[in-house]
Amino acid sequence: MSSDQPAEGIRLQKVLASAGLGSRRACEQLIAQGRVTVDGRGVAELGSRVDPETSVVRVDGKRVNLRSGQVYLAMNKPRGVLTAMSDPHGRPTVGDLVAHRSERLFHVGRLDAETEGLLILTNDGEFAHRLAHPSHEVVKTYIAEVPGPVDRSLARRLKDGIELEDGPVRVDEFQVIGYSAGRALVQVSLHVGRNHIVRRLLDAVGHPVDRLVRTAIGPVRLADQRSGSIRELTAAELGELYRLLDL
Ligand code: URA
């Protein structure tokens, strides 16, 4: 057993540094500045030790993931790939893109096969359950390519709510972000997670979607992540998601 890991736990600054909060020195400063709590209590001494498996550590009120076995990944799902871990018919799946990883991962929610963009995968069941559950209302943002022009009154109509066959849908934000050759690029944010929701919604208002990309899930952004690539969520993204999900 190393001197850093006696039976009583691991030094708080080491645990914070391993969780991606910065160098040990930077983490010591976070502790000294009184920004860290362990199991609800403020800890300002550097000697504190914690059990990463059981302690709840927060920095500035946001929970930090300490459990080394848990992974949280952001994938840029390519068009044409099924949101499934495997497919009995041999079609390409997101499972193929993480097949080299040893964890038992599952995807959180789904994107249609034809939809691209941000998909979160994890092996943390409680996190996945909460993130997919409508009660937590995490906002998702999409960019859609649709036939233009788009009427100026559309944003108001979509924010007021559109009646679909399975009930009304209201968007949080709607914006035209570009035009080219008679086509419009629109950005839609909503916290409803029903099947094909963005395609059905835009279809219902006369703008059938040609291309759809999910660009954000709450604080997690796709940015310039390459199609088919996978990255770990940052400590800041995860902390913010834990907060939104009451974890
Ligand atoms: N809305 C859709 O229409 N498709 C998706 O994949 C996600 C949201």
Neighbours of 228 (CB within 10 A): 14
Q: For every one of its 247 residues, what pLDDT tens digit does the chain have, with 9 covering 90 and above?
A: 444 444 478 889 988 988 888 888 999 999 999 999 999 999 988 888 998 888 999 999 988 988 778 899 999 999 999 999 999 999 999 999 999 998 999 999 999 999 999 999 999 988 999 998 888 889 999 999 999 899 999 999 999 999 999 999 999 999 999 998 999 999 999 998 899 999 999 999 999 999 999 999 999 999 999 999 999 999 899 989 988 998 8
In testing the pocket of ligand 1, which one of 162, 212, 215 has its CB within 8 Å of the most ligand atoms? 212
Catalytic residue positions, numbered: 112
Question: What values do phi and psi take at 243, rounded to 5?
Answer: -65, -45
Determine the Cα–Cα distance for residues 92 and 236; give it in Å rounded to an integer.
Answer: 32
Q: What is the pLDDT of residue 189?
A: 98
- Rounded to whole angstroms, how far apart are CA atoms 120 and 138? 13
Among the listed residues 48, 111, 58, 55, the one whose alpha carbon sits nearest the alpha carbon of residue 83: 111
Both structure tokens of 152? 């100026």
Alpha carbon distance 64, 177 (integer Å)? 35
Radius of gyration of the chain (CA): 21
**Distance from the alpha carbon of residue 209 to the mean position of ligand 1, in angstroms:** 10
> What's residue 21's pLDDT?
86
Distance (Å) from CA 187 to ligand 1 centroid: 13
- Minimal CA–CA distance to 142: which of 196, 84, 214, 194? 214
Q: What integer pLDDT is reported at residue 6 of this predicted model? A: 46
> Distance between CA atoms of 41 and 19, rounded to whole angstroms?
19
Q: Ligand 1: which residues within 6 Å by Cβ?
A: 111-112, 115, 196-199, 212
Name the residue with the closest Cα to ligand 1, atom 4. Answer: 196
Q: Is the peptide bond before 219 cis (omega within 30 degrees of 0)?
A: no
pTM here?
0.85
